[in-house]
Amino acid sequence: MQKPQYSHYRWVIQSILFLIQIGLGLNFMAPSPLFLSIIENYGISKGIVGLVISSVTLVMALFLLPGGFLISKIGSKNAMILSGSLMSAGLLLPFVNSFPMIILLRIIFGIGAAISIPTTSAITMEWFKPKELSIINGINESGRALGVSLGVLLATPIANNIGWNTTLTFYSMIPAVATILWIIGGRTSKTKVNETPFSIHENLPFIFNRNVLILAIGTIGPLTLFVGYSAWLPTYYNEVKEMTLGEAGSIVSVIPLVNAMFNPISGIILSKFNSRRILLIFSGLILPLFAFGSVFAMNEIILLICVAGIGIFLSIFIVSIITIPMELPNVTASKVGIVTAAILTTGNLASVVSPIFIGTFTDYSGSYIPALSIIALMPLTLVISGWFLQIPKSDN
């Protein structure tokens, strides 16, 4: 096969993709520092308010795989336009005044986010050279993490001035602007290799491939930890460690902030270090240690070190998980979205339970410690994944 020539326009594509990732991350966890305001506004319990996050992770889990299929049906450019439009659903928040309607808008956002993730993988593989993939994946994941960090960090101070509802509406403007830019500047690569027409039956072997299933198991723990801790650590620090919500949000925002800073480095590590298995196993062993530290440490400096550690090793995990599918045999640009979606679906389904479990179990037991401790152990699934993963010797 003739080696395609990669256009310099790919950097314009990447610039827009990066803004889309920021918009996704910005709106994903932003409600978590605002939980108490939402509880007071609607008179709901800790378990119920967790639906603001869990509703998003649920629909992301359910729509990741259909989103991967959608790319093959309507093309990557159109899939991203649809994704960005759905992620802008929060612009309708000023027109709703009930908790169920807020959940509906969060569900719409989650569907858009689910389509965006495999579409980003497909566009990346379509436009960039193989040796650039892990680095570009790191940059894109950095955009998502940066968005999460800014969303959590700025939510409380902005809400203190304009209200929590208006704050979330303001955040929704970012994916809306990114979508407009994508409509104007987004393209399908002319170097894309023509492939056979889309068929669900022909794609089933990719979904049920042994490595795909093993990687799917590995995602359960880290995603459960990230979603659960990002949702509840601000409230835990506020109520138990007697921090202000601003201080608590600032500390927890270190997780995605460090993640954003380290993702490009993770991409470089993957491009230089061939053993994906060792990276997965090591991350799975270290993450629980930092998770327990973020719960039990009494010193604020140690807390910061622990949450930063979570961010670093989540970075290594996610860049590995996004890059490995692109290196599997016979996985092309049109199929990588399906493979990536299949891997992430299991972890996202598990993470749905995390905020609800922490909130409900805390209401039941009267303490955050049991639930947070259980979630801290979940990343050990990465050890299982790394141990049983079988990839070609050159990538091993």
pLDDT of residue 395: 44
Residue 1 lies inside a defined structural domain of this protein: no
Residue 287 lies inside a defined structural domain of this protein: yes
What does the alpha-carbon distance between residue 185 and residue 309 come to, in Å, rounded to a whole number? 37
Residue 4 lies inside a defined structural domain of this protein: no
Residue 370 lies inside a defined structural domain of this protein: yes
Per-residue pLDDT of the chain (396 residues; tens, 9 = 90+): 334 456 788 889 899 999 999 999 989 878 877 888 888 888 787 778 878 887 887 888 788 878 777 877 788 889 999 999 999 998 998 888 888 898 999 999 999 999 998 898 888 888 888 778 878 888 888 888 888 878 878 888 888 888 888 888 899 999 999 999 999 988 776 554 444 445 555 555 566 677 788 888 888 999 999 888 888 888 888 888 878 877 887 888 788 788 888 888 888 887 777 777 788 898 899 999 999 999 998 888 899 999 999 999 998 888 888 788 777 666 666 567 677 777 878 887 887 788 888 888 888 888 889 999 999 999 999 998 888 877 654 444
Phi-psi region of 392 (alpha: psi -120 to 50; beta: other; left: phi over 0): beta
Place of tokens 């994916």: 175
Residue 195 lies inside a defined structural domain of this protein: no
Q: Cβ neighbours of residue 35 under 8 Å, at least 6 residues apart?
A: 46, 49, 52, 231, 234, 235
Q: Cβ neighbours of residue 31 under 8 Å, at least 6 residues apart?
A: 38, 52, 53, 106, 155, 164, 168
Distances (CA, A) of 73 to 3, 35, 68, 237, 249: 26, 39, 9, 46, 41
- Structural domain that includes position 158: 10-188+200-395
Residue 193 lies inside a defined structural domain of this protein: no
Residue 299 lies inside a defined structural domain of this protein: yes
Helices 254-272 and 245-252, axial angle in degrees (round to 10): 0
CATH of the domain at 334: 1.20.1250.20
- Given a contact cutoff of 8 angstroms between Cβ atoms, the answer to whether 391 and 324 are in contact is yes
User: pTM score > 0.75 for this model?
Assistant: no
Q: How many domains does the chain have?
A: 1
pLDDT of residue 193: 44
Residue 54 lies inside a defined structural domain of this protein: yes
